[in-house]
Amino acid sequence: MPITTALSRLALGGALTLAALGGAQAQDDVRIGFIVKKPEQAWFINEQRAATEVGEELGFRVVRLGGEDGQEVLSAIDNLYSQGAQGFVICPPDVRLGSAVMNRANQYGMKVITVDDQFVDGSGEPLEGVPHLGMSGYKIGRQVGEALAAEIEARGWDPQQVAALRITNNELPTARERTDGATDVLLEWGFPEENVFDAPQQNTDTNSAFSAASPVLSQRDDFEHWIIYALNEESVLGGVRATEQYGLGADNVIGVGINGSGAAFAEFSRSNPTGFHGTVAVSSTQHGRQTAESLYRWITEGEEPPANTETTGTLMTRDNWQDVRAELGL
């Protein structure tokens, strides 16, 4: 039946469903997975929600799964295959899982896109052949550095008397790019390199940052003024909570994060300001929507997504967070 006839029947309230339209049939059957490394974090909750919503708009199903280690990721892929999924978007818990994940996906004929954290090969280079969408880590890191420098100036602090708590995660390339970007700006601006102290975290969450930060603060209790940066706001919040434990108040601390998720909104909504000064917000909504839609187009139209898409960020503080949130559709 010609589509126009079918549509007019629909309009007339006929018993026909969209699935009966030849071309739409296959698309209605599309099911994709969306696997994230930290399903409880606000960034990932919003990303998966946005993917689900674009699926509802375009007519495909999104199965949301957590994959907090390699074993869980492989089970998630098996699970998706048994549900008939044709592909998945993944933010992996470890970027070195790339070849294991791709082997499993290829066995099942599933298409894969990475979001946020890009797979690396044996030499630490981006794994080829897997389209990726993530933030432009170095540029966004530079925005963090600029915000920190501007706030040191605004408070009239002498940079020589300020310590930087750099919470690092050097195994994750995007994390390293972000902290490197911030460090470069600070040093170019004149921040003393010897005042930068590393706190290597085991993970990308608040608890691991808190554990990493505490010993550094106790070793350097000669500093009264601290700036804090890391790959994301969850980690900066861990650092800020650690400074509070050491009796440093909001006046002594400038933390600037990255993400612009519920974790930051909760902090900005407190009645009293904390040392969490701001965060460079990136649209997790866009990350979720765009990757899910690209995967859907790839499955249904054979259009392969670009190899690498980089997204940008906007500084969000206590003063403008609600506007930026609305602007970014968060």
Nearest to ligand GLA of 139, 220 (CB atom): 139
Question: Does 117 interact with ligand GLA (rule: CB under 6 A)?
Answer: yes
Minimum separation from the CB atom of position 160 to ligand GLA (A): 31
Nearest to 167 by CA among 213, 122, 117: 213
Could you give the CA distance from residue 330 to residue 317 in angstroms, rounded to a whole number?
15
Minimum distance from residue 145 beta carbon to ligand GLA (Å) = 17
Q: Which is nearer to ligand GLA, 91 or 227 (CB)?
A: 91
Q: Which of 50, 80, 90, 91 binds ligand GLA (CB under 6 A)?
A: 91
Task: Supply the minimum distance, in Å, between the C-beta of residue 325 and ligand GLA.
Answer: 16
Q: 174, 195, 279, 290: which one contacts ligand GLA (CB under 6 A)?
A: 174
Cβ atoms 62, 34 nearer than 8 A? yes
**Angle (CA) 8 12 14, round 5°:** 95
Residue 240 near ligand GLA by CB under 6 A: no
Residue 136 binds ligand GLA, judged by CB under 6 A: no
C-alpha distances in Å from residue 185, one per residue of 56, 191, 322: 42, 9, 27
- By CB under 6 A, is residue 232 in contact with ligand GLA? yes
How far the first Cα of the chain sits from its last, in Å, is 42
Choose, by CB under 6 A, the member of 34, 43, 60, 268 that binds ligand GLA: 43
Beta-bridged to residue 66, according to DSSP, are 36
Residue 178 C-beta: closest distance to ligand GLA, Å? 8
Tokens coding 197: 């102290």
For ligand GLA, the binding residues in 140-169 under the rule CB under 6 A are none
Please, are residues 132 and 188 in contact by the beta-carbon 8 Å criterion? no
Handedness of CA 282, 284, 290, 295 (dihedral sign): positive
Does 94 interact with ligand GLA (rule: CB under 6 A)? no
Instruction: Say whether residue 180 binds ligand GLA (CB under 6 A).
Output: no
Q: Which residues contact 197 (CB under 8 A, 6 or more apart)?
A: 163, 164, 165, 166, 216, 219, 220
Q: Given the complex with ligand GLA, which of 162 and 237 has the nearer CB atom? A: 237
Report the nearest approach of ligand GLA to the CB of residue 67 (Å).
Answer: 12
Name the residues that contact ligand GLA, by CB under 6 A.
43, 91, 116-117, 134-135, 174, 204, 231-232, 258-259
